[in-house]
Amino acid sequence: MLDLEIRKEISERVDAIQPVLIETLKEQIAIPSVVSYEAGEYPFGIKVHEAFIHFLKTAENMGFAVKNVDEYGGHVEFGSGEEMACIIGHLDVVPAGAGWDNGAFNPTVLNGRLYGRGAIDDKGPMVAALYAMKVLKDMGFKPGKLIRLIIGLDEEVEWKGMDRYFETERKPDVGFTPDAMFPVIRGEKGIIVCKLAKKFTKGNNSGLMISKLSGGSAPNMVADSCRAVLRCKNRDRYAEVIDMVNAFKSQGVEISAKKQGTSLIVTTKGVSAHGSNPAAGENAIAHMMKFLSEVSLDAVDQSEFVKFFNRHIGYELNGESLGISMKDDESGELVLNVGMCEISMEEAILSINIRYPVTKTEEDVFDKMENTVKPYGVGIIKGKTQKPIYYEADHPLVKLFMEVYRRNTEDTKSESLVIGGGTYARCTDNILAFGANFPGAEETEHQPNEYVDIEKLMLATKMYAEAIYELAV
């Protein structure tokens, strides 16, 4: 356990740097670092590059050594040793989505909270970790291990950056990622991102059909909007559809319709949430597909795909009707999120995000799902998959982080967790997710009006400094 005098000095120094820490975070939030995969100098887009360089320069100005690994990631470090203790997080963010009061990239302080995309996922915790390192450095701490803060740049999508980073950089021996919640995460469900796709062959160019449908922003976000462009040679059908829209509103769904040229635009609205917890949101794609099932589309393949969706997915979040429902005692039920949908005259594509129990495998999921979708002519396009991780509650690392948390919060009731979220803890062994959300706090990551509680962020900074000290001493 840390000496009380060391803990007191850490606390006082963190309190003193609050204004500059918050200013640094505001500068980060103002950069819309949504990944855009591009060929050339900046593989994740210019805005991710800007956030990355801002972070490296901030660290360099603190006197740390920094490294840029070909724009795929990098690190901040101090100390030396044969072993390495690390903090690993990310600076990319999910798309803004709709519903913000003051703008996603307009950092706003209100009632002790700092609002903006990335405030809690993961720019706030990354800035906290950086300043925790600065506090230790300014105290004259001489670590027995190399301390490295590793910076990921496409965690919210495909993790290409971290794969490339570890091709040339050594892996840490121990550490944490500040990208989840306290007290500590000792298990993470497996993750599957895939597409369900169907090519259309049975056309109908005169009746009511979907010219184009587009919904959602990312597979790991609950879709907050969906827009369908309907077309029909008999324009009188539009009045019928508009009447059905008005009736559908009585079910508590936000839906609208308007004529535009020779088409009818139908829009549904939902509530965004993290794909690991879709129950916290409201899926606009599910609303749209339910509505379309009542419209009687004349395009046969489109109509059959809509029926498939409502019969085997609909509003379900556990995959039961898709044939993939499963659970275990260690981590609970499988979770299914429909994040994106695209429908045209030629094809339909659903992008889905699945979090499966820690004792199961991706083969368990894919085999069961294929049995369900194959009779409908729907194919599975496999995307990113991540195996689950799991540590027992009495693992030494779990116990270390629990001790740091409890002595700073006096919370003796909260226990270590197993979650559906996916973090960089999966990159290598002996990395656990540690903060920065606190038990009972509102979960606003991936949602409009994302925020971090400033007082809690400063407490997290103190805990990060203590954890780094204990890992590297």
**CATH code of the domain in which 446 resides:** 3.40.630.10
Separation between Cα atoms, residue 69 and residue 207, nearest integer Å: 55
Q: Are residues 270 and 297 in the same domain?
A: yes
The residue whose two tokens read 């184009």 is 212
Q: Are residues 91 and 196 in the same domain?
A: no
Helix (H) or strand (E) holding 185: strand 185-188
Q: Are residues 213 and 165 in the same domain?
A: no
Query: Considering 352, 386, 420, which residue would you say is the last residue of a domain?
Result: 386
The residue whose two tokens read 């790991």 is 220
What pLDDT is attached to residue 206?
A: 72
Q: Are residues 321 and 453 in the same domain?
A: no
Q: Are 179 and 423 in contact (CB under 8 A)?
A: yes
What pLDDT is attached to residue 38?
A: 84
Separation between Cα atoms, residue 128 and residue 119, nearest integer Å: 11
Q: Are residues 360 and 436 in the same domain?
A: no
- Does the annotation mark 254 as catalytic? no
What pLDDT is attached to residue 204?
A: 59
Q: Are residues 405 and 465 in the same domain?
A: yes
What pLDDT is attached to residue 384?
A: 87
Check pLDDT > 70 for residue 239. yes
Q: The domain containing residue 257 runs over which residues?
A: 191-386
What pLDDT is attached to residue 97?
A: 87
Query: Considering 324, 355, 386, which residue would you say is the last residue of a domain?
Result: 386
- Short-list 222, 128, 105, 126, CA closest to 179: 126
- How confident is the model over 115-131, as pLDDT tens digits? 999 999 999 999 999 99
Q: Are residues 82 and 217 in the same domain?
A: no
Separation between Cα atoms, residue 457 and residue 473, nearest integer Å: 24
Q: Is the dihedral of CA 177, 125, 447, 106 positive or negative?
A: negative
Q: Are residues 346 and 408 in the same domain?
A: no
Give the mean model confidence (pLDDT) for residues 430-438. 97
Q: Are residues 409 and 455 in the same domain?
A: yes
Q: Which position among 71, 92, 173, 453 bears the catalytic label?
A: 92
Q: Which position among 155, 188, 282, 445 bears the catalytic label?
A: 155
Confidence of residue 205 (pLDDT cuts 50, 70, 90): low
Q: What percent of the chain shows pLDDT beyond 70?
A: 99
- Does the annotation mark 294 as catalytic? no
Give the mean model confidence (pLDDT) for residues 162-178. 97
Q: Are residues 225 and 362 in the same domain?
A: yes
- How confident is the model over 139-167, as pLDDT tens digits? 999 999 999 999 999 999 989 999 999 99
Domain count, the chain: 2
Q: Are residues 310 and 336 in the same domain?
A: yes
Give the mean model confidence (pLDDT) for residues 224-236. 95
Beta bridge partners of 452: 114
Separation between Cα atoms, residue 72 and residue 151, nearest integer Å: 9
What pLDDT is attached to residue 414?
A: 97
Q: Are residues 96 and 172 in the same domain?
A: yes
Separation between Cα atoms, residue 125 and residue 391, nearest integer Å: 23
